[in-house]
Each structure stands twice: as structure tokens, then as C-alpha cells.
Amino acid sequence: MDAVDALNEIAFWLERGRAATFKVQAFRKAAAAITALDAGEVAARARTGRLKSMKGIGDRTFEVIRQAVDGQVPDYLADLRGKGAEPLASGGEEIRAALRGDLHSHSEWSDGGSPIELMVAAAEVLGREYLALTDHSPNLTIANGLSAERLREQLDVVAGINSNGGGTRLLTGIEVDILESGVLDQEPELLDRLDIVVASVHSKLRADRKTMTARMLGGIRDPQTNVLGHCTGRLVEGSRGTRPPSEFDAREVFAACAEHNVAVEINSRPERQDPPDALIQLALEAGCLFSIDSDAHAPGQLDFLQYGAERAARNHVPADRIITTWPVDKLLAWAGKE
């Protein structure tokens, strides 16, 4: 087995299982450390033990590499594959099987942990027809949001990746901040070039109900917006602690989503579970479309769609109202891009 592939697959399974970041990065860094070496050199250094002296190679990663170059599936990887055979969520199997794509993901260009290429490779392994790359916009400096110049550079990278073929189409996109004024945080000309625009609120989440409603309505009414991301901003678990949902007029917001053809995101991150079930029901009543998205910041997190599928099924969301079950041509026609 190729040692780099083994290390990256281990990182994938650890990410999927929500392991600590430092543990995941040990395998990602080891994979990066030996990528520049040809397979013969990796094997020779592993068998003589010289590989241990390389920066980024620890005892566990050395063991994985040594077993891989000896033609074995490393024991640690075999164990993780066995655990990964179990689904992440119980329920939602029909919706999960119907999902074709994912419209919310991040790479190392903003606050994700992996190169774009690794995100696409993982999406392909998971059978995704398409994946939208939606790194953050400039206002979110804490997440290394993309300036207009950097976003233009990224569009060229995406075009290059798609030109190489492959089973997963990488869609251009952004998770753009809805600023306090209700304006989207990127140049309109650039937003017009993107396949998918996910608009989200990331700041001043404790604003009063009237202020937050007006802010969200501004973003929803912008003709460039396709998806309203994690609408309450809540956190229900995880290393960042918990955060209550923001307050807004949900009926007015979801009516605007239905009127302006903006899908409501069912964010699949376990720490978000956003919107809450009661708001999913209100969005259903309003006639909204939905987008089940992973909000993945690492390759293994792309499989979090299982959590979103379970929540959609539990709330009786029809599959035909979930835009991520649509073929890519239908999706892009709906978004006004084809």
C-alpha cells in the first residue's frame, strides 16, 4: 500500500470520528513529509530506520509507513476502517443515499486544515457528484477570509483541478458574511462569477431580534445569495463550548427565503445542528428549499452529511426539496449559473 495514501486515509477516518486536531495533524504532517520522496526511497529509509530522523515522523507514523512499504494494510488503518464501517447516524438512510453533493466546505485557503485537492479527493471517495468550495470572505479575518484578489486566484486553481477530470466536480463558491448592514462581504462582480454563494452571519450574534432580522433579510434579498448558512449560529457542544441561538423573526426570514429562492441550510456539523428542529418545521411550512451541507473543514468531515440527512428525515423534509439531492445541471440552473 502507498504510504502517503495510508497516512492520509488514517487522517480521514480520525477526522470523521472527530478526533483531536493534534492527532489528525500528526498523520497529515507525516504524509506531507514523505510526499517529495519516491516510493523506493521511502521504503529504503523505512527499512533502515532512517525515516525516524525526518521532521514530522513519529513512532506511530513510522510504524504505519513501515507496514505500508512491506505490502501490508497498516494495523492502525485496518482498525479504523473496521470502526468506519458503522454509520455515523442511525436514520436518514434514504435521504443519505439520495444526496449528490455538498455546498459548504472549507480548505486551508481560509480556516480549513487541508489543501483543496485533498478535499476533492475525499469527496470523490465518498461518491459526491459535486462539492462547492466555500472559503470565508474578507470580513472574517479570524478565519483568514479571502480578499477579492485571493478569491480570483482560487478560481484559477479550481479551474485547473476541474480540467484534470475526476469523478467530483468542484464548484466555485464562498461563504460570504452578511455584514451588519445586510450587505454581502465581497465584490458583486466576483459573487456573480461563482457557482454557489452561501450567506451567513458570523458576528454580533447577540444582537436584538429586530436588528438581526433586518440584517438577515438584507442578505437573503441580495440576488447573489443561494443558501442561508447556519441561520441561528448556535453551538450545542464541542471544544468551542456552547452558544445560544441568535434571535430573529423566523417566519419573516423563511418567508423571504421562499420568495427569493434561497435554500435554508441544514448544517451537518455535530456542534451546530442548525437550524433547530422547530425552525426546520417553520421553514417547511414557509415552502422553503433546503441544502444539507457538511460545513467540512477537513476531508473526513465531508461525511458529516450523514448527520444532516438524519435530521432532515426526522423532520420529514421531502428529498425533492433538498437541493443537494439534485443533479449538478439542475442545481446550477436553479442557481442561475447555467
DSSP-derived secondary structure for 190-220: HHHH-SEEEEE--S-TT--HHHHHHHHHHHH
Q: How many CB atoms lie within 10 A of CB 53?
A: 8
Task: Identify the pLDDT of residue 338.
Answer: 64
Contacts of 71 (CB under 8 A, 6+ apart): 1
Q: How many CB atoms lie within 10 A of CB 90?
A: 9
Task: Identify the pLDDT of residue 239.
Answer: 87
**Residues across the chain:** 338
Residues β-bridged to residue 196: 173
Residues β-bridged to residue 296: 105
Kindly give the parts of the chain with pLDDT less than 50. none
CA 30 to each of CA 51, 61, 83, 113, 203: distance values in angstroms, whole numbers, following the listed order: 10, 7, 23, 14, 36
Rounded distance, CA 183 to CA 173, Å? Answer: 17
Prediction pTM value: 0.96
Residues β-bridged to residue 306: none
DSSP string, 79-121: HHHHHHTS-SSSS-HHHHHH--EES-B--TTTT-SS-HHHHHH
DSSP 3-state of 225: coil
Question: What are the φ and ψ backbone dihedral angles of 163, each rounded to 5 degrees?
Answer: -70, -15
Per-residue pLDDT reduced to its tens digit, 10-62: 999 999 999 999 999 999 999 999 999 999 999 999 999 999 999 999 999 99
Question: What are the φ and ψ backbone dihedral angles of 243, each rounded to 5 degrees?
Answer: -150, 130
Rounded distance, CA 297 to CA 268, Å? Answer: 12
Task: Identify the pLDDT of residue 337.
Answer: 78
Closest to 110 measured CA to CA, from 159, 151, 64, 164: 151
DSSP 3-state of 232: coil
Task: Identify the pLDDT of residue 211.
Answer: 98
Per the CB < 8 A criterion, the answer to whether 269 and 306 are in contact is: no
Task: Identify the pLDDT of residue 165.
Answer: 87
Task: Identify the pLDDT of residue 322.
Answer: 98
